[in-house]
């Protein structure tokens, strides 16, 4: 579904991603782990072409998307849920969903308002509330729901459990498991290893913008020295 090879990305003169490579198989949930500043968000933005890689390739469903405008990447079926949420605070929940609508696409689940309200009962109760009246966790849910209205085949989730209440984190885990059961492919950026363990099939760990581990959760559990070296505070 997604193949990143040898990507180098910069912010000005700061070299953030260094020959980064990773794969996301179709229908799987892959957790991108690493400490603060490891390059997780830059990886997401480089895949979505919000940060233009200086070199390397990003292939989505076999097509090289490096250099495309982000809205064109979205039209190909890639959804992006930024850490900052960026909902329209003066629009209602329903109006935010309408903004995200795209036509159905082959090989991807098709979402409606009713299906999303079943997935996010909190939003169903607040469908006529403006975005600014929602809690942080509800805003995160709305950002995911709005992205799903684009009927993506791959979703990039940047730190979905960051700054939300534990009960919302549990709901997020159930949502991601449901998305996987619907056939959606997910690349999830996280610092919360417990959350990643609840949802992910595979783990990629990055350090200083470079991949240092790729494997299953079972393999990671069997090598605590890797976890301690790259994930411990």
CATH code assigned at 30? 3.40.50.300
Q: Is position 110 within any domain?
A: yes
161 burial (CB, 10 Å; 0-12 / 13-18 / 19+) is buried
Q: Which two tokens stand for residue 97?
A: 């969903």
C-alpha distance from residue 143 to each of 131, 192, 233 (Å) = 10, 20, 29
Q: Is position 53 within any domain?
A: no
Count structural domains, the chain.
1
Q: What is the reported pLDDT for 185?
A: 95
Q: Give the distance from CA 3 to its chain's centroid.
A: 15
Selected residue with higher pLDDT from 52 and 218: 52
Q: What is the reported pLDDT for 94?
A: 96
For the ranges 30-39, 110-119, 162-171, 180-189, the lowest mean pLDDT is seen at 162-171
pLDDT, the chain, mean: 92
Q: What is the reported pLDDT for 218?
A: 85
Q: Is position 48 within any domain?
A: no
Q: Is position 185 within any domain?
A: yes
Structural domain of 189: 25-38+79-230
Q: What is the reported pLDDT for 13?
A: 92
Q: How far is 12 from 111, CA to CA, in rounded Å? A: 39
Return the closest-CA partner of residue 52 out of 67, 41, 64. Answer: 67
**Res. 160 pLDDT band, cuts 50 70 90:** confident
Residue 85 clears pLDDT 80, i.e. is over it: no
Q: What is the pTM of this model?
A: 0.91
Q: What is the reported pLDDT for 165?
A: 78
Q: Is position 89 within any domain?
A: yes
Q: Is position 7 within any domain?
A: no
Q: What is the reported pLDDT for 77?
A: 94
Q: Is position 103 within any domain?
A: yes
Mean pLDDT of 58-71: 94
Return the closest-CA partner of residue 209 out of 24, 68, 11, 49. Answer: 11
Q: Is position 226 within any domain?
A: yes
Return the closest-CA partner of residue 53 out of 4, 92, 99. Answer: 4
Q: What is the reported pLDDT for 205?
A: 95
The position carrying tokens 């991601």 is: 176
Residue 191 clears pLDDT 90, i.e. is over it: no
């Amino acid at each position: 579904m997604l193949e990143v090879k040898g990507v180098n990305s910069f912010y000005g003169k700061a070299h953030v991603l260094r020959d980064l490579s990773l794969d996301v198989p179709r229908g799987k949930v892959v957790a991108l782990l690493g400490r603060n500043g490891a390059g997780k968000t830059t990886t997401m933005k480089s895949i979505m072409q919000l940060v233009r890689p200086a070199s390397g390739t990003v292939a989505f469903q076999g097509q090289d998307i490096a250099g495309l405008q982000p809205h064109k990447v979205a039209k190909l079926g890639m959804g992006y849920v930024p850490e900052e949420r960026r909902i329209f605070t003066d629009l209602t929940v329903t109006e935010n969903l309408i903004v995200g609508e795209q036509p159905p696409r082959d090989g991807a689940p098709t979402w409606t308002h009713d299906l999303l309200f079943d997935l996010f009962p909190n939003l169903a109760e607040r469908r006529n509330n403006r975005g600014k009246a929602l809690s942080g966790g509800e805003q995160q849910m709305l950002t995911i729901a709005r992205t799903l209205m684009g009927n993506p085949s791959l979703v990039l989730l940047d730190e979905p459990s960051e700054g939300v209440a534990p009960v919302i984190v549990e709901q997020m885990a159930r949502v991601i498991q449901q998305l996987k059961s619907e056939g959606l492919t997910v690349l999830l950026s996280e610092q919360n290893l417990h959350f990643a363990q609840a949802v992910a099939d595979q783990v990629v760990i990055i350090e200083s913008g470079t991949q240092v581990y790729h494997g299953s959760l079972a393999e990671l559990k069997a090598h605590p020295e890797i976890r301690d070296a790259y994930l411990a505070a």
